[in-house]
Amino acid sequence: MGEPGLMAVESFSLFDAHALALVIGGTLLASALSKGWADMRAGLKATLALLGRGLDEAANRSALARVVHAVRLRGRHGAEPPLPPDPALASLVNAYLRMGEEAVRKEVWTDQRALAKAQISAGVSLWRLAADHAPVFGLVGTLYAITHLAPSLGSGMAQATASAIAGAVVSTLYGLLFAHLVCLPLANALARRARAEDMARVRLARWFESQLPRSRPMGPLQPQTVLLEVA
């Protein structure tokens, strides 16, 4: 009498490889189709970069200090120092050395700073979209498991029913867990990284501007250099 119930209990497991593959694979596929493959690659690239150190403020400050020293020693046109490792700061330095005009530097800086933030934002939007899709594919797994409620050949009704219900439960669970323990935390971590790196870039750019040699005034009303502002 107790054997069918025991078999039903034994058939329940919190790990279901098919349900897990359906939820994760379906979520990522739907996100890629919604975002496009180019944005998908950019988002995954930003996510992998999250595992690294990100913007090294000390290394970039050291590089900027070498630029300032070279400019003071040889002048703007004669200086050929190594550029900072951060692409946005490197573009700012290159614009100063090659062109010098403040308006040009600010335009280049604005564009490169926006590009740096957009690269990380691709990852943020990808994982927030995935968080919306994951519960949906958890429901898909649930519906798929329900279609197997009929007993398969050679198995009893109780065991087949318990197996189908278990698959339905874990599919829904996987969808919710993948959304709230993976997708949303990754999106929030990337957003924090974007804010922190942008603030560091602005601090470094302000310091660099403050250390540049000033040209002598040509008249009584010489405009001062405008500091770069945080958006």
Q: Confidence class of residue 161 from pLDDT cuts 50, 70 and 90?
A: low
The reported pTM is: 0.74
Q: Confidence class of residue 182 from pLDDT cuts 50, 70 and 90?
A: very high
pLDDT at 66 over 60: yes
Helices (H), 101-183: 102-146, 157-178
Task: Assign 213 to helix, strand or coil.
Answer: coil
Segments making up each domain of the chain, as ranges: 13-211
Q: Confidence class of residue 184 from pLDDT cuts 50, 70 and 90?
A: very high
What is the per-residue pLDDT across 107-123, written as a single tens digit (0 to 9) for each? 888 898 899 888 899 99
Mean pLDDT (whole number) for 210-221: 61
Token pair of 152 as six digits: 């398969």
Sign of CA dihedral 7, 8, 9, 11: positive
Q: Confidence class of residue 60 from pLDDT cuts 50, 70 and 90?
A: very high
All residues at 6 or more sequence positions from 209 whose CB lies less than 8 Å from its CB, including other chains: 225, 227, 228
